[in-house]
Amino acid sequence: MQIFSSRFLGNLKVSSQGLGCMGMSEFYGQASKEESLKTLKTALNAGINFFDTADIYGTGENELLIGEFIKNHDRKNIVVATKCGLVRDKSDSTKRVVNNTCDYIMTCCHDSLKRLQTDYIDIYYLHRIDEKGPQSAPLEESMKAFAQLWNDKKILHIGISEARAEQIERAHLALLKYTDGRAGLSAVQSEYSLMSRGVEENGVLDMCRKYGIGFVAYSPLSRQLLTDNLKLEDLSKDDFRHNLPRFKEENLRKNNAIILELKEISKKKNCTVAQLALAWVLAKGDNIVPIPGTKRERYLLENIQAANIKLTEDELKAMSKIAPSHVIAGERYTKDQMKTYNLSE
């Protein structure tokens, strides 16, 4: 089995591919706790040491799952990332409110540490940024709370998620100020795949490179769009992809045409479309770490093999040309979610 090479998020050494754990608790239909724990163990045994969760995934259930996993393995071999800053509406699971206030961040960290059954969090992210909402605060105020948690050794590294380029710079410089130059941002997490290329165009990747910040690519398979085995009729009724624009019938038909073109390249490389898509993300920069999410061991084992695929410059260009941003049908979230998350693409 592939033993992964390492990459750096700031000065944090992690496996070159991580594992997104969200679907083990919610959003993609029912999950088996036993299967999820088995998948986590298989990932660790394969050399993946980087596990991504958040306090809102399953309203805490996902952190509890990761906590059980941590408890039964050597903590020093596990890099766990979690997030705060989003509040779920208990009466409507589709609604979110951003809360970036210092008190909320401090409370969330305390609760996450308890659920994760650990004394420290390796990477703690601000999940979303909203500086104008009713429960928001200036980004610099949010970073002051993160700096305090870092100083208290509750968190070892700091990240932000779905930030604009100027916000990345502001957050990084604020942290350096509050920690006397000892800690800035280690990681920025955003959606990035062949079908979600905004960070290439809006300066986010350039800003990360400027300051030596690692980039964590979530949904590198575009929520299974970048595979050749997605069938809407196979999705459970509670799968949130039914509500996403890219999975609506007409948009899905257009997006699947892209998959057919990618499939021709995958045949030549003797790999699956999913492996090809992951290899593309891995090839986009040494500071980029994709975290494909799955609750199933068989998909994990498939994703792992992407590390063995080497793409030439011509192949990378051909893949990028097949899926430019302007031909992707549908936004990646609903209009309301795009507004709530202050996303422009």
**Active-site amino acid positions:** 57
Helices (H), the chain: 33-45, 61-71, 102-116, 139-151, 165-178, 198-201, 204-211, 249-268, 273-282, 297-304, 313-322, 335-340
Between CA 277 and CA 117 the distance in angstroms is 35
DSSP for 108-130, written as a single string: HHHHHHHHHTSS-EEEEEE----
By C-alpha distance, which of 135, 94, 126 is closest to 108? 126
Torsion of the alpha carbons at 153, 63, 84 and 196, rounded to the nearest 10 = 120
60: left (phi over 0), alpha (psi -120 to 50) or beta: left
